[in-house]
Amino acid sequence: MNPDLARLHPYPFEKLAELKAGITPTTTAKHIALSIGEPQHAPPAVAMTAMAESLGGLARYPLTRGERSLRQAIADWLTRRFSLTAGQVDPDRHVLPVAGTREALFSFAQAVIAKPTDPTAPRPLVLMPNPFYQIYEGAALLAGAEPYYYPTDATNDFLPDFSAIPAEIWARAQLIYVCSPGNPSGAVIDRARYQTLLTLADRHDVLIAADECYSEIYDDRAVPPAGLLEIAHELGRNDFSRIVVFHSLSKRSNLPGLRSGFVAGDATVLEQYLRYRTYQGCALSLPVQMTSIAAWNDEHHVQENRRHYREKFDAVLDILSPVLPARRPNAGFYLWTDVGGDEREFCRALFAEQNITALPGRYLSRAVDGVDPGAGFVRMALVAELADCVDAAQRIRAFLS
Ligand SMILES: Cc1ncc(COP(=O)(O)O)c(C=O)c1O
């Protein structure tokens, strides 16, 4: 077997199952899961109709690079959403559909990491935020690289300080994952930080994989989160060199089961990544592609989605603010809050007493030099319907009171 498989960490939900094992909640109140970030709002009707009307496409092998109509719809969406210049995103060179960002975030590292020819040389580094979406780490390990965790914690408003990453780390790095809006904090990387990142990535010849899969879930009274292509464009980097962004319909359009997203950016990198993907074999079936076109072309359902999340944050924060320092995230659908103690104990007791599952922060992070940025924090996904989120918040408040 590949020895690197043994380096993979258990997934957060395996640890959670262990934490809850053997506990029978003392309440008869129904179980509410705040642990998994699986959207529960209804998928858009336009997408369901497109799926029903395109089922005949199952009779054909799909192309790995996807139908041009899908790539065009994605290029148009990117142009509208991130105020790019018409024609700047070339659907033939800058866009590739992927079967959800999870597989793409993983396979991207497999395609781009160059292993040292000298077996005694140190492994290349893949930089990633801490806490983080665990796929980044698994992707680095199975690509034969070493993860380097840069902190995104409360001392820095959950934002990365790219200039604090030592030069010798940058020198060994080949790839950096960034996540904005962040999972779990919802923090949005600002222009100044992205500019620093681009300067450092250029200096050290490092590729940037920007996971933007929460970019459409934001408070619609505020400015939409900026994307890295948008910032590159503002800086005059119209070839998107060294940048690949990852987007998904899972959160934006409540279609996690569709497995549809895209990567966009550096044409030279994507050409090679397409080559890799041809062998990997993750082409999207034609009905999935047609459904995706309908979803990317419609913003009405996304606005509705944002409205639902805003209502949930309003209601839940009203209930929880007197007992927890919970605050509204810049974007995304998670409450990431300090619980003032051992968060694993908090989650265990919350389940035992209130039949509510939340995710301990430490299951999303790694301790570096004895400091674990997830310790003391809990992630709660407001994905359930409003009434369930309110019920959960009231039970958490009762639990804490
Ligand atoms: C930060 C982040 N990136 C990527 C994904 C993967 O989403 P999908 O594969 O559904 O596009 C998730 C899913 O929860 C996530 O939280």
Q: What is the pLDDT of residues 108-147, one digit of tens each?
A: 999 999 998 898 999 999 999 999 999 999 999 999 999 9
| C-beta 39 within 6 A of ligand 1 | no
**How far apart are the CA of 101 and the centre of ligand 1, in A?**
6
| pLDDT tens for each residue of 84-98 | 999 999 999 999 999
Task: Evaluate if residue 37 carries a pLDDT over 90.
Answer: no
pLDDT > 90: what percent of the chain?
95
Whether the pLDDT of residue 205 is over 90: the answer is yes
The finding on whether 359 has its CB within 6 A of some atom of ligand 1 is no
Mean pLDDT across 268-273: 98
Angle made by CA atoms 355, 360, 361, in degrees to the nearest 5? 155
Q: How far is it, in rounded angstroms, from Cα 383 to Cα 251?
A: 10
Pocket test for ligand 1, best of 213, 216, 246 (most atoms within 8 A of CB): 213
Task: Look at residue 335 in the predicted model and tell me its pLDDT.
Answer: 97
pLDDT (0 to 100) of residue 369: 95
User: Average pLDDT for residues 314-329, to the nearest whole number?
Assistant: 96
| Residue 190 clears pLDDT 90, i.e. is over it | yes
**pLDDT classification of 350: cutoffs 50, 70, 90:** very high
Share of the chain above pLDDT 70, in %: 100
Mean pLDDT score, 356-375: 97
The pLDDT of residue 40 is above 90? no
